[in-house]
Amino acid sequence: MVIRSVDLRSDTVTRPTDAMREAMASAEVDDDILGYDPTARHLEEEMAKMMGKEAALFVPSGTMGNLICVMVHCEVRGSEVILGDNSHIHVYENGGISTIGGVHPKTIKNEEDGTMDLGAIEAAIRDPKGSTFYPSTRLICLENTHANSGGRCLSAEYTDRVGQIAKRHGLKLHIDGARLFNASIALGVPVHRLVEAADSVSVCLSKSLGAPVGTVIVGSHTFIEKAKTLRKTLGGGMRQIGVLCAAALVAIQENLPKLQFDHKKAKLLAEGLNQMKGIRINVAAVETNMIFMDMEDGSRLTAEKLRKSLTECGILVLPGNSSRIRMVVHHQITISDVHYTLSCLQQAMQMIQEPSLNQTGKTENALSF
């Protein structure tokens, strides 16, 4: 029986707030292709300043942001990019850097904390003398926070070390910073320090910041000029985008201060889950707004059974795989939603693991909060 709706599928599910909608309605706009949209220009200048980079460019999505950055850095045919085998660029972007960008991926195992072994990165770099047989390495990609590791944060020190490797070998460094602000808040480190070593960064406005649409890429003036041309080539040039950028400006103002509470809500949810039988949670690994809940081997629980049972309570989650559920907290999830989710999960797991209890009706959906 659905008592309320709690959407934990992702932090991309948030709805624009009234303030965002008002800003969208009154946004000052112009044609951003024929010239520039003034509100987009304002957002881009703000983001470049926050990131400590020369320039910025609004793009429709994080996927396009990453694709443009990889393609600008790897504009020579036969280029290769070193990236994580569990990175978003490699796993969830339809292989776009290869199919559209013509760039060859060289994957390195992502460690549990989202990093890649520094020695393995350096060992993966092709011989700069080149070869008749091999692609040439031009770029290293990191992801901060690292989504498929459960929203883990990469430290500024680790990022600097990767940047030193890139510089030593004449390579560029790109950071997929879809949730960079979450890393900044969790680590207590300003975003510009986290990306100091990077030549480009893609920062999503539509994730935990809660804007309805958009991503901003940052880099040097020269880099952003090339990125702007590529954005048009890929069909990402848009006209009066101030309508979208106005919402993003409100999102940054309204929601940046709330990220710390998203992290607290995620931790509260993880600690509650950790009390339950039949699942495994690494509470210490919940550093930001994501939780991975793994079914214990041999238990009757499966991700699909739990997902379905939660849906009946109005709770939406995404299975990571057959024995894993991912939950992502955002600013439109309340503490009460967390308690409701824990209670529904407790009952769902009991019903699945101890079906005999169902006959006695002891586990009716009489939830109390």
In the complex, the residues that contact ligand THR under the rule CB under 6 A are: 10, 12, 92, 147
The residue (of 37 and 143) whose beta carbon lies closer to ligand PLP is 143
The residue (of 92 and 369) whose beta carbon lies closer to ligand THR is 92
The residue (of 90 and 126) whose beta carbon lies closer to ligand THR is 90
Residue nearest ligand THR by beta-carbon distance: 10
The span from the CA of 342 to the CA of 339, in Å, is 5
The span from the CA of 64 to the CA of 234, in Å, is 8
Closest among 140, 134, 130 to 168, alpha carbons compared: 140
- Which one of ligand THR, ligand PLP, none interacts with residue 306, CB within 5 to 8 A by kind? none
Closest among 326, 26, 344 to 148, alpha carbons compared: 326
- Least Å from the CB of residue 167 to ligand THR: 29
The residue (of 143 and 337) whose beta carbon lies closer to ligand THR is 143
- Which one of ligand THR, ligand PLP, none interacts with residue 309, CB within 5 to 8 A by kind? none
Q: Which helix (H) or strand (E) holds 40?
A: helix 38-51
Interface residues toward ligand PLP, by CB under 6 A: 12, 61-63, 88, 143, 147, 176, 178, 204, 206, 215
Cβ-Cβ contacts under 8 Å for 79 (sequence gap 6 or more): 73, 102, 103, 104, 135, 136, 137, 138, 139
Assess contact for 224 and 36: CB atoms under 8 A: no
Place of tokens 């939660």: 310
The residue (of 63 and 115) whose beta carbon lies closer to ligand THR is 63
- Least Å from the CB of residue 147 to ligand THR: 5
Residue nearest ligand PLP by beta-carbon distance: 62
